[in-house]
């Protein structure tokens, strides 16, 4: 299957939609469980996954948004993915849930109608002692504050390399032992998914990574950019989060933000809370005095942080503007215009696209991605740092980027 898909991609513009759907189905194995009703056993049989190509230095950074040209030391990352689906993959299981508990009602039709999916990516877990603690904390907070409606279920997706698989199974089993909701576990083959992503994101990898073999050069770190191309059509809305986050509110509330998207918006994302892009856009800013590019909020354009992402897959599929930006030539033109050379994967793409087409993005309140890293305060930007870092109000999701400790509950 993987070689066939690659051959199709090389022969033309990639495999047709039906082929992608078949590939997605073959790459996924699903097991449905009754959550905390007792007696369930955590499924085995995960498919063998291949490791990424990150080197040790970059892998140690994880998903920490390391600033150029260097940044704070941090532990490895991984990411979480949540999705809302009008129809899940296990339709028979959903019908069974509906019969048992009813369909539920609520302010967000997508959040109330089907499943909340969570994907955990584990890479090089055996090399990073802190990864287990981060995973435990993230999952524990999600379970503690998560309240699902009758008929809903949490879908947990595991994508990892072979050495990390035992840790992933343990994390999920322990976190869900006392979960007050139903859930299912799904295993993905990272090699198949990466092979499908490569024809789409190969061009932008050269623009938004530090070079071949570095951490963010791996195609998987551009998954969010092309999620609408590789996920089944039944999944209409997705929330993606980094692993170094902790919830302080019910994750279902975040799904309601989809209802606040203005017309034309396809992605919900919070602003970057450090002057990293003030630094990255230095040449453009020098050539354009008074520009909003790189300036702090509320009036400036500080760039985005992809620690928490709301992806409206249906809107992404329909948007000619967004899909046009995925073309290699479009990315190259934007990078040249803004003198941009990034290394943070999807976050760089969203930031650059947002400078040119802000209408594609719904800006989340900072409380949904309260970033804690303060590296740039001590690296040349102390005078302006607090203008980026300020975030008032109750924090709903903490983001401990660059290995910053998250406050206790």
Which residues, in sequence order, are CB contacts of 391 under 8 Å at separation 6+?
273, 366, 367, 370
Task: Give yes or no for a contact between 244 and 397, defined as CB atoms under 8 angstroms apart.
Answer: no
**What percentage of residues in the chain have a pLDDT greater than 70?**
69
Under the banding of pLDDT at 50, 70 and 90, the label for residue 111 is very low
Q: How many CB atoms lie within 10 A of CB 99?
A: 9
Residues 366 and 271 sit within 8 Å (Cβ to Cβ): yes
Burial class (CB in 10 A: 0-12, 13-18, 19+), 297: middle
Cβ burial of 15 (10 Å; 0-12, 13-18, 19+) is buried
Are the C-beta atoms of 159 and 117 separated by less than 8 Å? no
More confident residue, 209 or 196: 196
Least confident of 25-29, 155-159, 178-182, 354-358: 25-29
Asked if residues 83 and 237 have their Cβ atoms less than 8 Å apart, the reply is yes
Q: What local confidence, expressed as pLDDT, does residue 79 receive?
A: 54
Return the axis-axis angle of helices 190-207 and 346-356, rounded to nearest 10°: 50
Rg (CA), the chain: 20
Beta strands in 262-341 (DSSP E): 267-271, 304-312
Total H helices, total E strands in the chain = 17, 12
Question: For 146-187, what is each residue's pLDDT tens digit?
Answer: 888 888 887 777 777 777 878 888 888 898 888 888 888 777
Query: What pLDDT shows up at residue 82?
Result: 55
State the residue for tokens 């509110």.
249
State the virtual CA torsion across 331, 335, 338, 342 in degrees, nearest 10. 120
What's the predicted TM-score (pTM) here? 0.76
pLDDT tops 50 at residue 44: no
- Which among 72-86, 122-136, 244-258, 316-330 has the top mean pLDDT? 316-330
pLDDT grade, residue 283 (50/70/90)? very high
CA–CA separation, 353 and 335 (whole Å): 10
pLDDT at 65 over 50: no
- Residue 323, classified by CB atoms within 10 Å of its CB into exposed (0-12), middle (13-18) or buried (19+), is middle
Residue 372 half-sphere exposure, CB side, CA atoms within 13 Å? 16
Cβ 145 vs Cβ 249: under 8 Å:
yes
- Pick left, alpha or beta for residue 145 (phi over 0 → left; psi -120 to 50 → alpha; otherwise beta): alpha
Decide if 159 contacts 188 (C-beta within 8 A).
yes
Predicted confidence at residue 117, as pLDDT, reads 76
| 211 vs 259, higher pLDDT | 259
Helix axes 17-26, 190-207, angle to 10 degrees: 130
pLDDT tens readout for residues 289-322? 999 999 999 999 999 999 999 999 999 999 999 9
Cα 104 to chain center, whole Å? 27
Longest Cα–Cα distance in the chain: 65
**Distance linking the first and last C-alpha atoms of the chain:** 46
Between 314 and 39, name the one with better pLDDT: 314
CB 148 within 8 A of CB 106: no
Report pLDDT for 397: 97
Burial of residue 281, with CB atoms counted within 10 A of its CB: 0-12 exposed, 13-18 middle, 19 or more buried: buried
Checking phi first, is residue 124 left (phi over 0); if not, alpha (psi -120 to 50) or beta? left
- When pLDDT is averaged across residues 245-249 and rounded to a whole number, the result is 95
- Looking at residue 83, its pLDDT comes to 54
Residues 6 or more apart in contact with residue 184 via CB below 8 angstroms: 30, 31, 32, 33, 90, 93, 115, 153, 154, 155, 156
pLDDT value of residue 116: 78
Nearest to 307 by CA among 264, 265, 273: 273
Distances (CA, A) of 231 to 46, 166, 315: 19, 26, 14
């Amino acid at each position: 299957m993987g070689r066939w898909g690659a051959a199709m991609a090389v022969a033309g513009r990639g495999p047709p939609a039906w082929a992608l759907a078949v590939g997605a189905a073959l790459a996924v194995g699903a097991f449905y469980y009754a959550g905390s009703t007792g007696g369930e056993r955590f499924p085995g049989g995960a498919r063998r996954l291949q490791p990424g190509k990150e080197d040790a230095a970059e892998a140690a950074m994880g998903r920490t948004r390391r600033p150029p040209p260097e940044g704070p030391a941090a532990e490895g990352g991984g990411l979480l993915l949540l999705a809302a689906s009008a129809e899940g993959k296990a339709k028979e299981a959903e019908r069974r849930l509906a019969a048992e508990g009813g369909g539920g009602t609520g302010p967000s039709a997508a959040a109330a109608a089907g499943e909340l999916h969570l994907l955990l990516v584990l890479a090089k877990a055996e090399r990073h002692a802190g990864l287990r603690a981060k995973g435990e904390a993230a999952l524990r907070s999600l379970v503690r504050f998560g309240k699902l409606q009758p008929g809903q279920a949490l879908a947990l997706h595991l994508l990892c390399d072979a050495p990390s698989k035992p840790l992933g199974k343990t994390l999920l089993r322990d976190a869900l032992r006392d979960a007050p909701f139903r859930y299912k576990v799904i295993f993905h083959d990272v090699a198949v998914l990466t092979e499908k992503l490569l024809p789409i994101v190969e061009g932008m990898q050269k623009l938004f990574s530090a070079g071949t073999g570095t951490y963010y050069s791996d195609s998987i770190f551009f998954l969010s950019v092309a999620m609408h191309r590789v996920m089944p059509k039944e999944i209409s809305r997705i929330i993606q989060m980094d692993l170094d986050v902790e919830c302080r509110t019910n994750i279902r509330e975040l799904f309601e933000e989809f209802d606040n998207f203005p017309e034309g918006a396809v992605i919900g994302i919070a602003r970057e809370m450090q002057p990293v892009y003030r630094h990255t856009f230095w040449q453009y800013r020098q050539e354009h005095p008074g520009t909003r590019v790189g300036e702090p909020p509320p009036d400036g354009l500080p760039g985005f942080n992809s620690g928490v992402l709301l992806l409206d897959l249906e809107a992404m599929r329909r948007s000619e503007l967004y899909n046009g930006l995925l073309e290699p030539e479009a990315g190259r033109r934007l990078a040249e215009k803004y003198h941009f050379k990034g290394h943070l994967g999807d976050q760089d793409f969203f930031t650059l696209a947002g400078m040119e087409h802000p209408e594609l993005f719904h800006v989340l309140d900072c409380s949904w991605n309260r970033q804690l890293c303060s590296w740039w305060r001590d690296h040349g930007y102390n005078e302006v740092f607090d203008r980026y870092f300020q975030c008032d109000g109750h924090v709903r999701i903490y983001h401990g980027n660059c290995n910053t400790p998250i406050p206790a509950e």
